[in-house]
Amino acid sequence: MGVRSRWTASDVPDQTGRVAVITGSNTGIGYPTALALAKHGATVVLAVRDADKGAAAADRIRRSCPQAAVEVQPLDLSSLESVRAAAAALKSAHRRIDLLINNAGVMYTPKQTTVDGFELQFGTNHLGHFALTGLLLPQLIRVKGSRVVTVSSMAHRIMAAIHFDDLQWENGYNRIAAYGQSKLANLMFTYELQRRLAAKRKPTIAVAAHPGTANTELTRYLPPFFRPADRLLMPLVIQSAAMGALPTLRAATDPEVTGGQYYGPGGIGEQRGHPKPVEASRQAHDIELQQRLWAVSQELTGIRFPV
């Protein structure tokens, strides 16, 4: 038991010499993730849509940790052109990447599409990260101990399925189910990526995490009929963004982590608490669906992985 049952940011090992790219790291759970890694010596790249907000977040990190090495990389995951440009810039700046943390996301948005015509939640949360990972993987697989950590959600169980017959929700739209689909896709992507990395004996592992119920900006699109319950229940179950970041941090840094694991809060219902390995839904582990999603994602993004 001991420290293993109450893993905290102080348990992050020394990250000196490591490069960590974190999407959506100017706010939410991404910011404390970046702060903790910077405090432990990593060079942290804040890959964010709004460069000004990214610069402000970098300044906050430097004020908290004057020796921090922090960079800002503009990245809009809802645009494949932006993803390609960001990946090219990162590959030019960093011969090696030790950690890619696919953290950014949107939740419960009204029906919208990305620049490329994808449903916004699926396009941003899954396809954008799928493309970014594929483009940056050459920088990762040359590094022993490197990791791809993708942030999913408990919502991968709620109304969640991969709607292969209508991935972009053109025939009716349910914002909650669409979010669940994107988070289920995050897990399926992690498991298929890990299987491919292991088959090729690459030194990189793929891991997933979820923050439980954390105090972030994601709930700003919560449907109106959920808001009264949200106001009543959230004080009972919500935890800080810093606590919500712990599963990601553990998945990214704990030496005991193995490929294909999924980390979340250890409290009741995985809503809050210190991080531990948790279980994904049975559907998330369906290998045939994982491989089908991979093939469709490659077709939609035009990205081919070196595994």
Q: What is the dihedral of CA 97, 86, 108, 158, to 10 degrees?
A: -30
Q: Whole-model pTM? A: 0.93
Bridge partner list, 74: 48
Give dist(CA 247, CA 274) in Å, integer. 8
Bridge partner list, 44: 20, 70
Question: How does pLDDT run along the chain (307 residues), one tens digit per residue?
Answer: 334 579 999 999 999 999 999 999 999 999 999 999 999 999 999 999 999 999 999 999 999 999 999 999 999 999 999 999 999 999 999 999 999 999 999 999 999 999 999 999 999 999 999 999 999 999 999 999 999 999 999 999 987 799 999 999 999 999 999 999 999 999 999 999 999 999 999 999 999 999 999 876 545 555 554 445 444 445 556 899 999 999 999 999 999 999 999 999 999 999 999 999 999 999 999 999 999 999 999 999 999 999 9
Per DSSP bridges, beta strands 262-265 and 275-277 are antiparallel
Active site residues: 179
Give dist(CA 178, CA 216) in Å, integer. 19
Q: Count CB atoms within 10 A of the CB of residue 91.
A: 14
Bridge partner list, 99: 20, 147
Reading the block at residue 261, the tokens are: 């694991």
Bridge partner list, 150: 102, 208
